[in-house]
Amino acid sequence: MNYSLSKKFNYFRLFKWLIIIVIVLFIMMIGLLLWARLPISTAKSQATNLAEKKAGITKVERFYMSDLNRTYYTIQGTNKEKQNVMAIIEKKTGNINIVKTSDGISSDKAKNITNEKQAISKLISVAPTIFNGEAAWAVSYFNSKNGLAYSVVDFKTGKILRFIDNV
C-alpha cells in the first residue's frame, strides 16, 4: 500500500513541476516578444515627439517605417490647421519632410499601381519614404513566383520610380 501511495505522490509532484515549467516558459516568451518590439516602440515614440514638436502634428493617426536605402519613420496625423499630413523623418539625420496627404496618392492607390505592373501575391507593407529628395510610397510584397519584390511609387504622380523584382 505504501508503494502505490508514493507512486501517486510522485506523479502529482511531476505534474506540478511541469505546470510551473510551462508557466515560466510562457512568461519568458512574452518577455522576449516585448523585448524584440522595444526598438520599434522606441522609434515610434521618438518619431511622434519630433512630429508633434517640429511638424505641429496634434493628433497621430498612423506610424510607418520604410527601409530601402535609408530608414524613414513616418507619422501621419492632423496638424494645428486641421490638415491631414505626414511627417517623414530620416532616422540617421532627423531631417523631416512634411507632405499633405491631399497633395498625393493614397497607399491603396500605390498598391494598386504596383499590382497593375506585377501581380501581388502577398503584400508586406506600403509605407511613405523619400526617394531622390521627393515623397514616395515604398511597396514591398511577394510576387506570384514567391519572390520578394519592391516598387517605389511617386507620391504626387503615381508613377513607378523604381521596380526591384526577385530580391
- Predicted confidence at residue 8, as pLDDT, reads 56
pLDDT of 41: 83
Q: Can you read off the three cell numbers belonging to residue 166?
A: 526577385
Angle at 135 between CA 132 and CA 136, to 5 degrees: 90
The whole-number pLDDT of residue 73 equals 93
Q: How many helices (H) and strands (E) does the chain have?
A: 2, 8
Q: Report the predicted TM-score, pTM, of the whole model to 2 decimal places.
A: 0.76
The CATH number assigned to the domain with range 107-164 reads: 3.10.450.40
The confidence score (pLDDT) of residue 104 equals 92
Closest CA to 55 of 17, 19, 95, 91: 95
Q: Give the pLDDT confidence score for residue 165 in this predicted structure.
A: 84
CB 75 within 8 A of CB 55: yes
CB 65 within 8 A of CB 48: no
What residue ranges do the domains of the chain occupy? 107-164
C-alpha dist (Å) from residue 47 to 21, 39, 44, 53, 94: 39, 12, 5, 10, 9
- For the chain, 167 residues long, give each residue's pLDDT as a single digit of tens: 455 555 556 778 888 899 999 999 999 999 999 888 888 888 888 888 888 888 888 888 999 998 878 899 999 999 888 889 999 999 888 889 999 999 999 999 999 999 998 889 999 999 999 999 899 999 999 988 888 999 999 999 999 999 888 76
Q: What is the pLDDT of residue 1?
A: 46
Q: How many CB atoms lie within 10 A of CB 83?
A: 14
Question: Who's near 105: CB < 8 A, 6+ residues apart?
Answer: 113, 137, 153, 155, 156, 158
Res 49: pLDDT: 86
